[in-house]
Amino acid sequence: GAGVSQSPRYKVAKRGQDVALRCDPISGHVSLFWYQQALGQGPEFLTYFQNEAQLDKSGLPSDRFFAERPEGSVSTLKIQRTQQEDSAVYLCASSLVTGSGNTIYFGEGSWLTVV
Amino acid sequence: DQQVKQNSPSLSVQEGRISILNCDYTNSMFDYFLWYKKYPAEGPTFLISISSIKDKNEDGRFTVFLNKSAKHLSLHIVPSQPGDSAVYFCAADSGAGSYQLTFGKGTKLSVIP
């Protein structure tokens, strides 16, 4: 597609429920990122993939969060046993390659509300 | 410990005037800086960037200035237009094949017609 596509756009989950957020990066983009943006904050790095390899997951806040990109294209961010503090916008981004000067393009985000 | 700081949560400017958005950083390893613009319910959109080897980069109405010694950068928009009303995020990375962007909290710009 023309841009980074994320689904669902909006998700309301009951506390304790598992959620899965999907990201379709720009076709041909090697690098894929997940960021979390809480209300009133800037985006914060969660994890990074280069093709299908997850090279950095240091930003994942707990072991309830995990991400995968099995075929080096679509990625899924899964949150198990959601908690209220997980409420945020989850932004997926992609870039052609990695490194300074390579523009990172963001999707519109998946807005998660845990009630 | 915020490594990228945008100390003004909001800014109002009259249409046609200059908008100046400021950003400070603390990590001396940062060597590439970006500005993103975000409309409500949309993802951040890349606006303009600057490498640490430069002190100015210009793209149409948008100019970014970098003062490395002061660890400060600013985004100038001139002339400001109502469509520029959005939240502007400053972001930085440390180059050398890095991939993690560190963002500020954003500044909400309102351009008044």
Q: How many other C-beta atoms lie within 10 A of the C-beta of residue A107? A: 24
**B71 close to B4: Cβ distance less than 8 angstroms:** no
- Rounded to the nearest angstrom, the minimum Cα separation between A16 and chain B is 26
Among the listed residues B34, B98, B36, B32, the one whose alpha carbon sits nearest the alpha carbon of residue A98 = B98
pLDDT of residue B81: 98
Give the pLDDT confidence of A33-76 residue by residue, as tens digits.
999 999 999 999 999 999 999 999 999 999 999 999 999 999 99
Q: Which residues of A touch B44 (CB under 8 A)?
A: 43, 91, 106
pLDDT in tens, B1-50: 789 999 999 999 999 999 999 999 999 989 899 999 999 988 999 999 99
- A101 at B interface, C-beta within 8 A: yes
**For the residues A15-35, what does the mean pLDDT come to?**
96
